[in-house]
Chain A
Amino acid sequence: DGGITQSPKYLFRKEGQNVTLSCEQNLNHDAMYWYRQDPGQGLRLIYYSQIVNDFQKGDIAEGYSVSREKKESFPLTVTSAQKNPTAFYLCASTNSGLRNTEAFFGQGTRLTVV
Chain B
Amino acid sequence: RKEVEQDPGPFNVPEGATVAFNCTYSNSASQSFFWYRQDCRKEPKLLMSVYSSGNEDGRFTAQLNRASQYISLLIRDSKLSDSATYLCVVSAREGSGTYKYIFGTGTRLKVLA
Contact = CB atoms under 8 A, between A and B. Distances in A.
Interface of A: 30-31, 33, 35, 40-45, 48, 50-51, 88, 90, 92, 94, 96-100, 102-103, 105-108, 110
Contacts of B6: 42
B101 A33 contact: yes
A103 B101 contact: yes
Most chain B CB within 10 A, of A42, A51, A98, is at: A42
A45 B41 CA distance: 18
B64 interface: no
Contact of B43 (A42, A90, A100): A90
Contact of B106 (A30, A43, A50, A108): A43
Interface of B: 6, 8, 31-32, 34, 36, 41-46, 49, 85, 87, 89, 91, 93-94, 96-106, 108
Contact of A96 (B31, B36, B87, B98): B98
Given A31-B99, A102-B46, A108-B41, 14 more contacts: A31-B98, A31-B101, A41-B106, A42-B85, A43-B106, A44-B105, A48-B100, A94-B101, A96-B99, A96-B101, A97-B97, A99-B93, A99-B99, A103-B103
Contact of B99 (A42, A48, A90, A97): A97
Given A42-B6, A42-B105, A90 B100 contact: no
